[in-house]
Every structure is written in C-alpha cells, then in structure tokens.
Structure 1
Amino acid sequence: MEWNSYIKSYQSYLKIERGLSVNTIDNYSYDIERLLLHLTQNKIEISPINISEECLQQFIYSVSKEVNPRSQSRIISGLKSFFNYLIFEDYRKDNPLDLIDTPKTGRKLPDTLSVAEIDQLIDAIELTSNEGERNRAMLETLYGCGLRVSELITLKNSDLFFDEGFIKITGKGNKQRFVPISDITQKYIQIYRETVRNHVSIQKGFEDTLFLNRRGRQLTRAMIFTIIKNLAVKINLNKTISPHTFRHSFATHLLENGADLRSIQLMLGHESITTTEIYVHLDRKFLTEVLNSFHPRK
C-alpha cells in the first residue's frame, strides 16, 4: 500500500472505530499529509511501514522552524496516533515517535469575558433585522449553555426539551449529553422561532435545523466567528474573542459563583475532569477569596 492507502484506512478507523468528527479527522490527516509533503520535497521515498525515527526527527526539526511549540507538539501527537494505528493493524512493530520528545509548552489560559462585556456584545445586536433576532438567540444559547460552535450550528428543533428545561447536545465523537437551559435563553429562542424562523424558506434537509441563514440552510462556523468579531469591533472591545470565548466565560462564571467542577464538566461535555480544571486557574483572586472564606485556619 502507498501512503494514501494507509491514510484512507486510518481515516476510516477514526470515523468508524473511534467515532471522531470530520473536523478532528481532517486535523489528524493534515499532520500526516504535512509529513508526506516533507518527504516528497526532499525526494525521500519510504513507506510508513519502513520510515525510521531519524527520518521523522528530521521532519520534526524542519517543522520547528515554522510553527510554535504548541503546534509542534500537536503534530507529534497526531503522528504518534497514526503509527499506533499501524501497530494496531500489525503493519508495524514499533512507533518511531516513541523516543521523540514533545516540546514543553506553557498551559495557555483561555480568554474570558466579564458578564458586563457579554451584555454589551448582545446589546449591540441590531434587532430591527431578522438576523438580529437570530443572532441574539444564538449568542444567548452559546453563553447560556456553554456550547461549542459546532454544537450550536447543528442544534435542532427536536433537540429542545423546554418543558423539562434541557436541550440535547451532540458533541465530539457524536457523544450526546443533556444541558440545562434557562428561561431567558428559552425566551429568546422562542422569539426567534416565532417571529423569524417561521417565515424563512427552508431548504430540503434543513427542516429541523434551529438556526438558519438567509437561504434557509445551516449556518457555517465561519459565519458565527464573523458575527462575534463584528460585534466586538462595534463596542470597541479590546480583546481577541471567538465563539469559544463564550464557552470559557460560561464555565468561569459558574465556577466564580460556586458551581462545582464535576457539574461544569458534565455541562461542557468534557471526558476528563482535568480538561475542566483549567478554569480553576483563571481567577487567582477568586481562589484567594475561597480559601479565606472556607479554610478552617483562615
């Protein structure tokens, strides 16, 4: 088999066996294709079965000149996964990246918005247009439920269980979870559905999609980024934000108001509590107040 055959086989494994999303599979594949491009440019003809640690070390060295340590670490991790798959399928006996160390990277704390900043962003939405009502409902849902942008744009009408106070979210790896939804977020979704969505000419295949573009189709991730970026410019917000900033802010504000990490983990859909623990590091002042309030030797 040539490289492309192994890559396609690996992609099928990630999709069928591990249930990963298209975006995640594309990211894994990009790491391998970058290696393949390096081999081609340097006229190195070798299969993934026979490629050596030395050859991969040269590739990592060349990559280190182009990307930061965090990206370099991600590439090494992606390639390790590919070669572990080859071992799993008995194509190889060893992983040539096992002895290659990943660069040390500082743990990057996510950006957050204050409650006042979130209010400012949402208040800046022009509600006289149909898109305004939709955008308000989307941002209230993004922040009010702590969703990933991919979860927001794929949210369906059939996922809304307002009587029970929950929405059903399909997250990474097609894993589903139920997230509580507040009355205020329900209110804005209902306004959008009744005053705007009901009048959209919906394209076939998107009848159940909650948030629609002007053409009656599902919104793109890029469109959500653009909406948020434009609002940030409008209010002169001196921060670089994205849809994920709303998710980080959701978790941070819950933590600051006394929610426990396990509950936040369940709402965010994190597999590991260690992923959620990053929010503990966001506000040192808050942690000091917790210590002073609750420790017996304060």
Structure 2
Amino acid sequence: MNWDQCKKGYETYLRLEKSLSQNSVSAYMNDINKLTTFLTSEYKNITPKEVKLEHLRAFVEWMSSNNVSPRTQARTISGTKSFFKFLLMENVIEADPTTLLESPKIGRKLPDILTPDEIDQIIDAIDLKKPEGVRNKAIIEALYSCGLRVSELVNLKISNLHFEEEYIVVEGKSEKERMVPISVKAINDIKDYVEKYRVNLNVSADSEDILFLNRRGRQLSRVMIFTIIKGLADKVKLNKNISPHTFRHSFASQLIEGGADLRAVQEMLGHESILTTEIYTHLDQDYLKDTVNRHHPRS
C-alpha cells in the first residue's frame, strides 16, 4: 500500500470503527498529512514499510524547529502512533516504529473562567431589540447552563429537549448520547427564542429538527458561535480570552467549587476519563482550605 491508500484506509477506520466525529477525523488526518508530507520530502520515495524510529524523531525535531507548541506536538505524535498501529493491524507494516517515540512533556494550561457577574455582563450586552438578540441570549444560557461543547450546541435537536423533566439529550463525541440537566432560566430563554425568532424563519428541510438557526433558516456554524461570543466579549471589554469553551469551563468549575461530585461533573461534561475532568478543579485557596478544615481529622 502506498501513502494515499494507507491514509484512505485510516480515515475509513476512524469514521467507521472508531466512530469519531467529522471534526476529530479532520484533525487526525491533518496531522497525518503533515507527517507524510515531511517524510516524502525529506526521504525520497520512502514507503510506509520503510519508516523507522529515526525518521519519526526527525519529524518531531522538525516540528520543534518550526516553533510548533509542545501541546500540538503531543497531539500530532498521538495521531502518528494511532496511524502506525492501524498499519500494523492491517499488516501493512511488520513492526510499529512509534513504540519508543516520546511526546514532549506539557503542563496543564488552565483556561480563563467567567464569574456569574461577568456572564451577566455578557448577557446584558446582547441587543434584544434585534431579532437575533433573543437567539444569542438563549445560546449563551444553553452553553453556560449545560456545559456544552460548541459542536454539541450547534447540533442540539428540538426532539432532544425534555423541558417537562428539565433535561436535554446531548449528542457528544463519537456519537455518544448523555442526559444533561438544564436550568429553568435556560429553558425560558430557549422557549422565548423559539416563539419570537425561530417560528418566523423559513426553515430548510435539513434543519427542521435543529434548535439554533441562522437568518436563512439553516443550522448555525461553529464559527458563527465563536463570532457571536467574540463580539460580546469585545463589547464588555473583559480582560480575558473568551470562547464558547469558556462557558463550559465556567460551568464545571463553579459546580465543583459549589461542592458537586467530580464524577457527576464528568458525566455531565461527557468525559470518558475523570482525569480530563480534573482540569476543572483549579479551585480558589479559600475553598481548598475550607474543605480541609471540614473534612481532615487533624483540622
């Protein structure tokens, strides 16, 4: 198999056997394309069978010399290992050259969070006189109330809203569904959006069950959500790097600071590993001190 055949087979494997989302598949394939471009340019006519550890280490050194961040390097190396494991499984190669390939050590970067007051400032900055203002308010409340990923928000379906029971069904990564509680405030804002904005749209046939739509009655894009939030953040002049994920991070952090069980938060966020959820436990010193005082036998 040549490189193109290997990559095509790997992409099919990610889609069908691993059931990854389109965004995840694209990210993996983008990294593998970088790898194969480097290998074929540096080592003319090299085949998948001929790749050895030294070739991959040269690729890692190339990334470092081009100022690729350690976090991006680690992600790319992880994808490279997955790719060659697939080739080994398919008997394209006889030995895995990535076995001794090391990833750079990276620290955990704690993103900014928003306080409830700051979130209120952002919501107050929405111009509700504009038709899309009602929609944008519902979007912010849904992100913050449910801790959604931006991809989960834009794919949220009307048929998955269970307002009577105060929960929604979220389709997360790898098409896994989970139930997430939703606040009464978010419910009311979503109902307001549906009754005042969505009902007046000429909804396209492929978006009839999608909750949040643009002016043309089609599903909102991820980029549009980023644009909405960036515009509001600039308007209130908060000195923080704000994105849709900031609301998810704030949701989790404030739950844990309020005493929520880490495993409950893990379930609501849709994390496979609780280690991923632990990044949200950057609690303030007063909370940590209070926890020790209340629970440690020597306190």
Q: Deviations over 1:65-96 (max 9, x none)?
A: 12011111111111000001111112223221
- Partner residue of 2:280? 279
- Partner residue of 1:111? 112
Distance in 1, matches of 2:48 and 2:12, equals 17
- Partner residue of 1:96? 97
**2:200 is aligned with 1:199:** yes
Distance in 2, matches of 1:205 and 1:266, equals 30
User: What does residue range 13-162 of structure 1 map to in structure 2 within 5 Å?
Assistant: 13-42=13-42, 44-66=44-66, 67-162=68-163
Distance in 1, matches of 2:164 and 2:213, equals 23
SS of 1:169's equivalent in the other structure is strand
SS of 1:177's equivalent in the other structure is strand
SS of 1:258's equivalent in the other structure is coil
SS of 1:292's equivalent in the other structure is helix
Q: Deviations over 1:235-294 (max 9, x none)?
A: 111011110010000000101111110110110011111111111234343212211233
- Partner residue of 2:259? 258
Distance in 1, matches of 2:116 and 2:205, equals 39
Kindly indicate whether the alpha-carbon contact (under 8 Å) linking 1:155 and 1:209 is maintained by their aligned counterparts in 2: yes
- Work out the percentage of aligned pairs sharing the same amino acid: 52
Kindly indicate whether the alpha-carbon contact (under 8 Å) linking 1:15 and 1:21 is maintained by their aligned counterparts in 2: yes
Residues 49 and 43 of structure 1: is their aligned pair in 2 closer, same or farther, counting only changes over 3 Å?
A: closer
Kindly indicate whether the alpha-carbon contact (under 8 Å) linking 1:125 and 1:136 is maintained by their aligned counterparts in 2: yes
- Partner residue of 1:175? 176
Amino acid corresponding to residue 152 of structure 2 in structure 1:
E
Distance in 1, matches of 2:286 and 2:62, equals 42
Kindly indicate whether the alpha-carbon contact (under 8 Å) linking 1:121 and 1:232 is maintained by their aligned counterparts in 2: yes
Distance in 2, matches of 1:289 and 1:132, equals 41
- Partner residue of 2:7? 7
Distance in 1, matches of 2:296 and 2:119, equals 32
- Partner residue of 2:230? 229
Name the stretch that deviates more: 194-203 or 52-61.
Answer: 52-61
SS of 2:170's equivalent in the other structure is strand
Name the stretch that deviates more: 36-45 or 2-11.
Answer: 36-45
SS of 1:179's equivalent in the other structure is strand
Residues 88 and 282 of structure 1: is their aligned pair in 2 closer, same or farther, counting only changes over 3 Å?
A: farther
TM-score by length of 2: 0.97
Kindly indicate whether the alpha-carbon contact (under 8 Å) linking 1:125 and 1:135 is maintained by their aligned counterparts in 2: yes
SS of 1:110's equivalent in the other structure is coil
SS of 1:49's equivalent in the other structure is helix
Give the alignment's Cα RMSD to 1 decimal.
Answer: 1.1
Amino acid corresponding to residue 263 of structure 1 in structure 2:
A
Deviation at 1:120, TM superposition (A): 0.6
Amino acid corresponding to residue 241 of structure 1 in structure 2:
I
Kindly indicate whether the alpha-carbon contact (under 8 Å) linking 1:109 and 1:282 is maintained by their aligned counterparts in 2: no
Return 5+ residue gaps in structure 1 as ranges. none
SS of 1:63's equivalent in the other structure is helix
SS of 1:281's equivalent in the other structure is coil
**2:249 is aligned with 1:248:** yes
Distance in 2, matches of 1:44 and 1:282, equals 52
